[in-house]
Every structure is written in structure tokens, then in C-alpha cells.
Amino acid sequence: MSDSKKVSAAIIGAGMVARTHVAAIAAGDCVRLASICSRSGERAKALAVDAAELTGAPVDATSDLSAVAADASVDFAIILTPPNARAEIIRPLAQAGKHILLEKPMGRTSDEAREVVQICQDAGVALGVVFQHRMRAASIAAAKIIGSGDLGALGVVEISVPWWRDQGYYDEPGRGTLSRDGGGVLISQAIHTIDLALSLAGPVKSVRAMAATTRFHDMEAEDFVSAGFEFENGAVGSMVASTASFPGGAESITMHFDNASLHLASGQLHINWRDGRSEVQGEAGGTGGGADPMAFTHEWHQGIIEDFAEAITQGRDPVVTGQAALDAHDLIDATMRSARSGQIEEISK
């Protein structure tokens, strides 16, 4: 596709995940990367050089957010900054008519996430969220078979995120703090699996939880959470999420229905029917659950980015809207409230 026909994007933030987004754009054929903006001009320049080499086209670098907002050629912005600096970045871009594709989480709390949703609604721009696990072939297959009704009613959901991060990961200034990240393992790591589970199982009604910071990490926020859920559809569920589970393993979602059980893990969907049949769909792959947090493919991000570009071109909703992403934020907030109170917490909308 010629550059004149491509949707144009700017990346805001040049941190760890920015290279994944650059690789995702370079691998596709419907998005042109116009510029990279970072408070560190040097980081923006260095990434822009690499991006130009990958995409085969020039990429501007800037530390001036207002320049991106004023650039009429930019159709949407991919926001990759930490969650403590979201509204102040998104507001001028949205008011300038730039659609927003936002890396998780939308904010440090549900209230902050709702503020972001409102900013984009008021400006009349699309808001998408990078929950890339929804774009995996196994996740799409799971959603399809659940939607068919062939499985019957859902009874039990089991969510497991047995990840590992060494202390060096949390030694980066601000990481694992309430002021910058809004929390620990739930909002920074498990939120992806939580979003996918809720998209398949439906919203949670109430939660009872405990959270802890284990002896393995010196950090402010939690690195271990266990919780029990009651879903609005009557199913019950459990979750264990950790970054203290050496050497780290693949996150998984297991769902038990009347007629079969589904197990999603490592990019594969296993279906075990009550009549004895079994199926496997998807291809196994890394997830970033071990010591290397970037040990995953850019292909899922590519799916999210290309879907968002098509959505704004076609005037439809992206696969993960800001409104839909609020379910994960609401559950995380309620889980941490329950861990602090020791009581069952209802999830209000």
C-alpha cells in the first residue's frame, strides 16, 4: 500500500514496549509511522533511526507533544507512557482530533481510566486499548466457540498468572509503585489475562481477595494476589497472580462449561468435551512470563494496531474499546479493596 493511502500514527513514549510497536507497524502494510515523541529527545531520536530502518521510511523525532497535536498528517497516537501521565498527554491530542490507541492500563485507578474514556468521548475521537492477547488465534477460537452456545452454561473459571520478575525489574525508578504504576502484579501484568477472561466469561459481580508483597521483592505494591470471584452469570472463579513464581510460567485461563472445558495457555486452546472428544487449536508461543518481560512476538500488537487503523477508517469500534477495558480496571480495584478490607467487595458500574 502506498504511503498516501496508509493511516498515519505517532508513538508517544520511547520505553521498553515501544520497539514492539515499531516492529508491529513495520510488519504490516496499512499504517505509516510518522513520528516518535518522548520527553527524552535523545531516546526519541535513537528509536526513530531504528524505526526508519525497519519501516523503510523516514520517521520524525520530537520531545514536543504540541508538535504532534498540530501535525495534520497524524491520524492517531499510540500512547506508551506510564499510567501516571495519561490524561495530560491524551487531552491535547484528542482535542486536536487524534484518535487514541492506549497501552494498558488506561490509568492507575478506575476513576483515572474513566477520565480517559470521557476525554475521548468529549473530543469525538476513538479510544482503543492494547489488550493484545485478544488477537491470539486461540483467544479468537475460544470466543467463537463460547459464542456458539455449544458448550452450554459456564460454571467455573480458573485464572493463573505464575510469572517471575527479578529484583532488577523493580529497581527501575517508579516501577511497582502506587504513584507511577498504580499497583503491582494485577495492574501491570495480570491485567492482560483478566481482560481476556472477562471478555470470554462476562463481568464479575463480587470478589474476595488477599494480596501480599513477598520476601522475593523490595517494592511498594503487591507481587502476589489470590482471589475468589462470583460472576454476574452465576459462575464462580478463582485467580492467582504473581511475579514471585520463579522461573515463571505461562498464564492460563480454564473455563468449565456443561458440555466441555476450555484451557487457554501459551497460545493454545485445548477443548475437552464431556463425551470424550478433545481438540487443540493455535500455536504455542512465549508470553513474557519469565525473567525476560519482552519474550513475546509483536504479531499480537500488529493485530491490535491494524484493527484500530481499520476501525477509524471504517467508523466502527476497535476490538477493545476504552469502555470495554473498564471491566478489568473495575475488577482490579475491587480486588485490591477486598485485600485491604478482608471483606467481599461488590463491583459497581
Task: Tell me the pLDDT tens digit for each residue of 36-81.
Answer: 999 998 999 999 999 999 999 999 999 999 999 999 999 999 999 9
**Confidence grade of residue 3 (pLDDT, cut at 50, 70, 90):** low
Residue 7 has pLDDT above 70, yes or no: yes
Report strand pairing: 252-257 vs 260-265: antiparallel
Residue 345 pairs with which residues in a beta bridge?
Answer: 207
- CA 209/CA 242 separation, integer angstroms: 13
Query: Taking residues 285-303, what's their average pLDDT?
Result: 72
Query: Taking residues 159-179, what's their average pLDDT?
Result: 97
CATH of domain 3-132+301-321: 3.40.50.720
At 256, which amino acid appears?
Answer: H
% pLDDT > 90, the chain:
91
**Confidence grade of residue 267 (pLDDT, cut at 50, 70, 90):** confident
Residue 172 has pLDDT above 90, yes or no: yes
Sheet holding 127-130, edge to edge: 60-62, 31-37, 7-12, 76-79, 99-103, 127-130
Per-residue model confidence as pLDDT tens digits over 92-111: 999 999 999 999 999 999 99
Residue 287 has pLDDT above 70, yes or no: no
Residue 284 has pLDDT above 80, yes or no: no
Residue 152 has pLDDT above 70, yes or no: yes
- What is the model's pLDDT at position 294? 53
Q: Is 81 helix (H, G, I), strand (E, B) or coil?
A: coil
CATH level 2 (architecture), domain 134-290+327-346: 2-Layer Sandwich (3.30)
**Confidence grade of residue 328 (pLDDT, cut at 50, 70, 90):** very high
Residue 291 has pLDDT above 60, yes or no: no
Residue 279 pairs with which residues in a beta bridge?
Answer: 271
Query: Taking residues 211-235, what's their average pLDDT?
Result: 98
Tell me the whole-structure pTM to 2 decimals. 0.93
**Confidence grade of residue 297 (pLDDT, cut at 50, 70, 90):** confident
- What is the model's pLDDT at position 282? 81
% pLDDT > 70, the chain:
95
Query: Taking residues 104-131, what's their average pLDDT?
Result: 97
Domain ranges of the chain: 3-132+301-321, 134-290+327-346
- CA 201/CA 247 separation, integer angstroms: 29
- What is the model's pLDDT at position 285? 66
Query: Taking residues 216-241, what's their average pLDDT?
Result: 98
**Confidence grade of residue 290 (pLDDT, cut at 50, 70, 90):** low
User: Which H or E element spans position 281?
Assistant: strand 278-282
Query: Taking residues 268-291, what's their average pLDDT?
Result: 84
Cell of 67: 508538535
Residue 170 has pLDDT above 70, yes or no: yes
- CA 127/CA 123 separation, integer angstroms: 10
- DSSP H helical segments within the chain, as ranges? 18-27, 41-55, 65-70, 87-95, 110-123, 137-148, 167-170, 185, 191-201, 299-314, 322-341
Number of Cα atoms under 13 Å in the Cβ half of residue 311: 21
Residue 292 has pLDDT above 90, yes or no: no
Residue 2 has pLDDT above 70, yes or no: no
The per-residue pLDDT of the chain, averaged, comes to: 95
Residue 200 has pLDDT above 80, yes or no: yes
